[in-house]
Amino acid sequence: MEKQELVAFKEIDMEPFNDAMALISGKWKMNILFCLSECGTMRYGEIKNVLGNITHRVLSNKLKELEDNGLISRHEYPQIPPKVEYSLTKKGSSLLPILKMVCDWGKENCSDYNN
């Protein structure tokens, strides 16, 4: 790369990208979002069953982080036993095209993908 190209490269505003990645990065957040995008509203146990080997602590933390970031909503019903449902918010739903593109890319480019 020439010096002029390096100067232009340094001027790229990385802040929006970094902010977006902070909301969705990590081992489980995208999995949870994809799960909710495919299944719709889900209860905690359903999410846990779909994701498999995620621990209760990690799932609880990631759901809380996604809720705090406005990507999912949590609806608690006042009953015994407690019933809590999670769903994508409008902000979370705006990620659906990106999630679909990642899924499509994985189908096309990951050699271990099984149909």
Question: CA dihedral defined by 38, 39, 40, 41, rounded to 10 degrees?
Answer: -150
Backbone angles phi, psi at 68, to 5 degrees: -60, -30
Interstrand relation of 42-43 and 83-88 (parallel, antiparallel or unpaired): antiparallel
Q: What is the pLDDT of residues 21-51, one digit of tens each?
A: 888 888 899 999 999 999 999 999 999 999 9
Q: What is the pLDDT of residues 83-108, one digit of tens each?
A: 999 999 999 999 999 888 988 888 88
Q: Is the pTM of this model over 0.85?
A: no
